[in-house]
Amino acid sequence: MIEHTLNDADTIQGLSVLYNVPWQDIADYNNLEYPYTMTSRQAYYELYAGGYVRISRVQTNSELVIAAGGQFQTETDAQGIQKTYELIETATLTTGVAEGYFYVRSLVPGSYGNTIAGSIIVVGSIQTDSMYSNPITVTNPQPFTSGKDARVRLTGQVIYIDIANQTSKQPSSSYIEELGGIDLVTMPDNDITYDGAGDWDVVTGSENIQQAANHRLTTRRGSITQHPTYGSRLHELIGIAQAPYVQKLIELDVIETLMNDERIDTVTVNSIEMDITAIRVDISFTAAGTESQTTASVSA
């Protein structure tokens, strides 16, 4: 058993590659659901309940400032539960202003932070930078309902990897199908095809990974504005004298390009052919969490 502490860059597919364990096994063992892992920042905006509180005061002849991070709570209920909410930004009521609305968020993720209208009150003394801060009243005019329960692991939490018997375990065909996903079939001229039954033709599983590998290698890196690191640099090597170091550059670029796809575990370049106008490579790769190799020929 391995205990892996998640960082912001970890994904369940990446852990599958790192430990050579099918990602479905990791998800099932840890009782996780999509998206399986989240950064703390993602969770903060997607899982935590939040809403506006109304802060009112009697004394209006001075400015009232409550610093960001100030906390408000609900009354303790019959089960002894008292929920706490944090002020997201500094709350300021200028001289002459009697009330304002300010956003707070639960300190605990999930539906636990949801609460009914009028449940948040001032508990104890509010810490402010103002000389005249009390008496003030706080309430939430509307209920908080944005807290979501999710079976995910967050940055800094531990995810468990069960490696027992994994070396001899072969992934099922359904695993390969899910890993590879589904996409439209594209022809060499980038046109899509008709399936003969009233819909577009699609490709799935390992064949989709193979098609995706072809797309990565034949796309010029930097040509897609929103994805500047997608694609290869093979086009920069076309027409260069066939020196040994050039073939090595081609091999390294092919491996680097394909390893950016989390569905691919290992890449081997079997052969390289070069001429003035094109580069042709024969490759073999293994999908993440599998041992069987897939071969492909690509022309760039």
Whole-number pLDDT of residue 63? 85
Distance CA 270, CA 286 (A): 14
Give every CB contact of residue 203 below 8 A, 6+ residues apart in sequence: 182, 183, 184, 185, 211
Cβ neighbors of 70 (< 8 A, separation 6 or more) are 86, 87, 91, 126, 127
Q: Which residues contact 114 (CB under 8 A, 6 or more apart)?
A: 49, 143, 144, 145, 146, 147
The per-residue pLDDT for 168 is 46
Which of 229, 246, 226, 230 is closest to 238 using CA atoms? 246
For 55-101, the pLDDT digits (tens) are 988 878 888 888 888 888 888 888 888 899 999 999 888 888 889 99
DSSP bridge partners of 105 = 50, 86
177-199 in b/e form (b: 16+ CB < 10 A) is ebbbeeeebeeeeeeeeeeeeee
Which 8-state DSSP code applies to residue 235? G
Q: Which domains does the chain have, with CATH numbers?
A: 2-42+150-161 (3.10.350.10), 48-139 (no CATH), 180-299 (3.10.450.40)
How many residues are there in the chain? 300
Buried b or exposed e, range 101-133, using 16+ CB within 10 angstroms: ebebbbeebebebbbeeeebebeeebebebeeb
The CA-CA-CA angle for residues 143, 149, 150, to 5°, reads 150
pLDDT tens per residue, range 140-169: 999 999 999 988 998 888 999 987 755 544
Q: Which residues contact residue 190 at a Cβ distance below 8 angstroms, ignoring those fewer than 6 apart?
A: none
Task: Report the pLDDT value the prediction gives residue 273, as an integer from 0 to 100.
Answer: 85
- Report pLDDT for 15: 86
Q: CA 51, CA 89: separation in Å to the nearest integer?
A: 13
Distance CA 172, CA 141 (A): 53
pTM score > 0.75 for this model? no
Weakly modelled stretches of the chain, pLDDT under 50 = 123-125, 131-132, 168-169
DSSP classification of residue 182: E
Give yes or no for a contact between 37 and 152, defined as CB atoms under 8 angstroms apart: yes
Nearest in space to 38 (alpha carbons), one of 177, 176, 148, 115? 148
CA-wise closest residue to 20 among 151, 167, 181, 131: 167
Q: 């081997």: which residue's tokens? A: 268
